[in-house]
Amino acid sequence: MLDMPLKEFRSLVAAGSLPRPVKIGGKVERWSVKQLEAISSGAMLSEDFEW
Closest CA to 2 of 31, 37, 29: 37
* Domain ranges across the chain: 6-45
Per-residue pLDDT at 16: 83
Digit-coded pLDDT (tens) for 8-31: 989 988 988 888 899 999 889 999
Q: What is the pTM of this model?
A: 0.68
